[in-house]
A and B are shown apart, each in its own frame.
Chain A
Amino acid sequence: MNRFLYYLILLNMVVNIVVEVPKILIDHSHRGAITSMLLALVIGVSFNWIVIKLFKEHPGRSLPELLHDYVPSWISKPILLYFAFTWFFAGFLSIAAFTFLLKRFLTPEMSTYIIISTFVFLISYGILMKTQSLLNSVELILVLNLPIVIFLISKVYSDRSMEWDYVKVALTYSNNPPDYSAVTAAIYPLLGIVNIIIFNRHILEKVDMRMKQFFIILLAGAATLFTSYFIPLGYIGFGVSENVQYPWILTSDSIRLKYGLIERFIFIFLLIFLSLSFLNTTIHWHVAQKLLDSFHRTKKLIINEKDYNPYVWIVVFWVITFIGIGRMTEYQLFLYGKYFFNQQPLFAVVLIGSLMLIKRGAKKKWKQPAESN
C-alpha cells in the first residue's frame, strides 16, 4: 500500500484518541462499549478494504472527476455537496474541540474568537496549498511527530499510576450487546482512508490492500481503540470516568515527567495532539474545498488569471466557524459530535454507492465508446 494512504489512516487514528471518541465510549462503558469496539473494528477495517479496492480501478483520479465522467450531474451534485458538508463538519468539530480544550487547559483567559483564529488562518493557507505539497507536509509533520506520540503513549502505558485492575473490571462488561452510538463513534478513528477521494489524484502507485496491509490496519486500529478506551479508565477509575468531560486530558495530567524540563505531561501532550489535529483539520477542509470547487465554480471570479473561487469558500468556512463555535457550549459540541458519528453509516452507504455507480457508468461507457465521445 502506498505510504501516503498509511499516513492518512494513521493520522486520523492518532488524532481521535483524544477528544470525543473516548468520551462517548466511556459513557457506554456499562452498555456494551467493548463489543461495540470489536464490531467497529471489523466494520471499519472492511470499509477501508472496500474503498481501496474500489479506487484501485481508477488510478490517479479523484472522486469528483470520476463522478463528473460517469454519473449524471443530477445525482453527482447532491453527493458532492453532502460530502463537502461532511468533511467541513469533521474539521469544524476538531477545531471546536481544540478551542474548548485550549480554553480549559492552556489559555483560560483568552477569548474564544482569538483561539479560533489561531487555527483558521493557517488552515486556510493549507486549503489553498497544492494537494501534493499538502501530502508532503503531512509526511514531514507526521514523521517528525510520531516518535513523540509513541513516547507519550508508552509513557502513559508504563506510568505507575496506571491501575490495570480498573481495566480488568471494565473487561467484565464484555458480554453486553453493542450500542449504535458507541459503534459509530468507534468507527470514526478508522475512517482516515476516506480522504483518498481527493488525494487519489496524486497517488499513482500501489493503491491496493492485501492481507498484510489488512492486518497492519487491523492491529493499529485495535491498538488505537484499546488505548483510547482503557487507558483513561485505568487512571481515573471505572464507574467514575463518565463524570469527566475530558478523560484523556485528565489522564495526561496525572503523569509527571520527573526529570523533564517540562514537568507536567499535559503540556507536551496537548501541544503535540494539537498540531496533529490541526493537520487533520487542514486535510479535511482541503478536501471539503476541493469538493465544493467541483460542486460549483464561476468563471466570474477568475480575475487576472487568478482563481478567487477558493477564497469565497474559505470566507464561508470562516463565517460558519466563528459564529458556530463562538455560540457553542461543550455539551453541544459532544451532542453534535454524536449526531455526526451517528450519521456515518449513511455516509458510508453514499460513498460506496457512488463508487458503485461510477463502476457501472464506467462499464457502460466501455461498451459504448462512440456515445461517450
Chain B
Amino acid sequence: MGSSSEKQQPPELLLQLAQQLSPTKDIVQTTLHVDGMAAHLLYLKSAVDSIVLQKTIIQPFFQVTSLDDYASYLNSDPNQTEMADEQTVLVDLTKGNVLVAVEHRFFLLEVRKVGFNEVQQITLEPTIHGAQLGLSESLETSLNVIRQRYHKPSLIFDTMQLKDQSNRSIALVYDKITVNPRALQLIKKRLDNLDFPLILSSGDLQLYLNGTKKSLFPACLLTERPDRLVYNISAGKIIIIVDGSPHAVIAPVVFFDFMVSMEDLYHGYWISILTIILRYAGLLACVILPALYVGITSYTPDVFRTELALTVAASRIGVPYPSFMEVFFMLLFIEFLTEASIRLPSPISATATTVGGLILGTAAVEAALTSNIMIIVVSLVAVSTFVIPINELGFAVRGLRFILLIYTTFFGLAGLAIGLLGIVLFLANKESFGESYLKFGWRKRKKEFRTGEG
C-alpha cells in the first residue's frame, strides 16, 4: 500500500513546473488513477484542446491494463515533443503541450488548440481570377495551404522558434532544388542574430530582417496570396511564415516583384502586357507629376506648347504663393485623406472621402488657394498610387515623390531628370538578402557577372 501511495504522489518535477507557472488560473495539474495505477498530467487549459486530450491521453489510460502499456502507448504517439531543459518545457507547455508523468517517465505531447485556424479571405491583393482564400493565422494551416498547392518532395518546411519574448514559432519554406543557397544562409543567419524584444507579426519581422534599420523601400514582400507564394517558391525564393500572422514574407525580392499582380498570369498575353504598361505608367505618373508641375510652372514654363503653357498659367492666376507650396500643401492634403480613409471604419471613411475630396477640393479652387490643374494633378497622383499592386511599394512611392519634389524645387527641371536617375542609382545599389534590388533579369546573368562582391 505504501508503494501505491507513493505512486499517487506527483513527481517532483511536475510540482516544480506547476510552481513556476502559478498563479495563473488556467493551470491544470491532475492525477488519473484506476486500480492502483496512476498518471499525472500538467497542462494549461487555455492552450490545450480538451476533446483531443480526452480522446488521446485520458481515455487510453483507462483502457490499458498496465502502466508499461500506457507508457509505450504515449511513447509511440507521433505528436510527442522532445524534452530539453526545464525552461523549454515551460515554453512548450504554454504552446499547448501536455506533460504526462507515468511512474518516473515523462512525456511531452502536443495537444494544441488553435482557435483561429480558418483560412482567411484575401483582402489586400484581390484579383478577379485566381485564389480567393489566403493563409491562416495558424502556422500549421498555412503550411497545409502551401503543401496542398505544391506537391513536390523537395519542398522543405524548416520550423524554428523566435528568440524574443513571445517565443513564437516561425517556418522557413523553400524548394531545396531551386532555392538560392546564399540567400537562405543569410536569412538563417539574420534570424539567429535577431535581437528584438518582441515581434508581433510577419510585418515587423520583415523589417527586422531587413539588415538596415532605416530604409524607404521594402526588402521583403509581404503577401497573403497562396498562389504568389507557390509562384515564388518555384522561382527559388524563401518564404517566412510567423505563427499567428496571416501574411507571409517573401525574400529575397527585386523591385519588379512589387509591380507584379498575380492577375497578370491569369490573363491573356496582350491583356497582361497592357495592364503591366498601365501599372508602370501609373508608377511614373505618381512619382513625377507633382515635381513636374513645380519644374514647369516655376522654372521653365516654355517647355509646354504655348496653348498649354497659357492654360496652366491662367489657372494659376490668383494663387497667392509659389507653386511648390501649392503642390506641397495639396499633396499633404491628399496624404491626410488617404491616411484617414485607411484608418477609419469603412462607413465613416466614405464620408471623409466625400467631404475631403469633393467639397474641399472644389472650395479650394473657388477660393483661389490652388489652381484647377493642381487639383487634377493631385487626384491623378492619388489614383495612380493605388495602381501599384503591393501596398508597401505604394507607401514607399508616397515618400519618394516628396523627395523628388524637394529636389525639383531646388534645381528645376534638370533637377527632376537627375533626381529620377538618382532614384534608379539608389534602387540599383540597394540589396535584398544579397540580391541586387533593381536590375534587368536577363538570362545567363550569374555566369557573366561576379556576384556578391563590392
A, B from the same assembly? yes
Which residue in chain B gives the minimum CB-CB distance to A257? B305
Q: Does A185 have its Cβ within 8 Å of any Cβ on chain B?
A: no
Q: In the complex, which residues of chain B have a beta carbon less than 8 angstroms from the beta carbon of A140?
A: 424, 428, 438-440
Docked-complex contact B308 and A133, CB < 8 angstroms:
no
Question: Would you give the 0/1 interface string for A112-123, flagging 1 where the beta carbon is closer than 8 Å to chain B?
Answer: 001101110010
Q: Which residue of A lies closest to B303 (CB)?
A: A267
Q: Which residues of A contact B448 (CB under 8 A)?
A: 2, 203-206
Q: Are B414 and A133 in contact (CB under 8 A)?
A: no
Whether A274 lies near B414 (C-beta < 8 A) is yes
Please pick, from A102, A117, A129, A206, the residue contacting B425 in the complex, using a CB distance under 8 A.
A129
Q: Could you tell me the distance between the alpha carbons of A140 and B422 in the complex, rounded to whole angstroms?
A: 12
CA–CA, A133 to B440, complex, Å?
A: 11
Given contacts A132-B450, A140-B438, A282-B425, contact A115 B414 (CB under 8 A): yes
With A203-B449, A204-B450 given, is the CB distance from A271 to B422 under 8 Å? no
**CB < 8 Å neighbour of A205 from B299, B418, B447:** B447
Q: Is A332 positioned at the interface, with any CB of B under 8 Å from its CB?
A: no
With most chain A CB atoms within 10 A of its CB, the pick from B300, B305, B438 is B305
> Once the chains are docked, how many angstroms separate the CA of A41 from the CA of B145?
64
Q: Which A residues are in CB contact (< 8 Å) with B450?
A: 60, 132, 201-202, 204
Q: Is A213 an interface residue (CB 8 A)?
A: no
B422 near A122 with CB under 8 A, answer yes
Per the bound structure, the CA–CA distance linking A155 and B422 in Å amounts to 28
Question: Given A122-B419, A130-B454, A136-B436, A204 and B424 touching (CB < 8 A)?
Answer: no
Which residues of B are found within 8 Å of A274, using beta-carbon distances? 414, 417-418
Let me know if A106 and B300 touch, CB within 8 A: yes
A102: chain B residues within 8 A (beta carbon): 414
A114-B412 Cα distance, complex, nearest whole Å: 10
B-contacting residues, A14-63, CB 8 Å: 60
B428: contacting residue among A117, A122, A137, CB under 8 A: A137
A311 within 8 Å of B (CB atoms): no
| Chain A minimum-CB-distance residue to B309 | A263
Chain A hits for B208, CB < 8 A: none
How distant is A48 from chain B, measured CB to nearest CB, in Å?
19
**Residue from A119, A129, A137, A139 within 8 A of B418 (CB atoms):** A119
Contact residues of A between 124 and 141, Cβ < 8 Å to B: 125-126, 129-134, 136-137, 139-141
Q: Which of B421, B422, B451 has the most chain A CB atoms closer than 10 A to its own CB? A: B421
Q: Are A141 and B439 in contact (CB under 8 A)?
A: no
Which chain A residue lies CB-closest to B308? A261
User: Which B residues contact A (CB, under 8 angstroms)?
Assistant: 299-300, 302-306, 308, 410-415, 417-422, 424-426, 428-429, 436, 438-440, 447-451, 453-454
